[in-house]
């Protein structure tokens, strides 16, 4: 079982987490995020433009030749 309190304690002492623990944290995070209702499942490869704050660089109004998802809209062209 993942001990997040233990991991936080290690980090607060300014120590590095072991590779196995980091992988376990990443896997558990992935499992949790995949169950979220706002996660859009798409096929790779895809280019994501923007960040979690919704800022998007300007790009042409027509869809690009490769799949593109705007992080602020959740749309995939």
Say yes or no: 77 and 52 in one domain.
yes
Tell me: do 47 and 70 sit in the same domain. yes
Helical ranges in the chain per DSSP H: 4-12, 19-34
Partner residues linked to 48 by β-bridges: 69
Identify whether residues 47 and 77 lie together within a single domain. yes
76 shares a domain with 47:
yes
Q: At 77, is the pLDDT very low, low, confident or very high (cuts 50, 70, 90)?
A: very low
Q: Are 45 and 68 part of one and the same domain?
A: yes
50 and 72 inside one domain: yes
Both 51 and 75 in one domain: the answer is yes
pLDDT digits 0-9 by tens, 23-64? 999 999 999 988 888 877 788 887 777 655 555 555 555 555
Q: 11 pLDDT exceeds 60?
A: yes
User: Are residues 77 and 45 part of one domain?
Assistant: yes
Domain membership of residue 62 as a residue range: 40-77
How many structural domains does the chain have? 2
| Contact residues for 5 (Cβ-Cβ < 8 A; gap 6+) | none
């Amino acid at each position: 079982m993942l001990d997040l309190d233990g991991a936080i304690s290690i980090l607060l002492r300014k120590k590095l987490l072991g590779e196995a623990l980091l992988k376990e944290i990443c896997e558990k995070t992935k499992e949790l995020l995949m169950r979220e209702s706002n996660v859009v499942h798409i096929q790779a490869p895809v280019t994501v433009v923007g960040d979690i704050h919704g800022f998007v660089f300007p790009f042409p109004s027509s869809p690009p030749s490769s799949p593109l998802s705007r992080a602020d809209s959740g749309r995939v062209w």
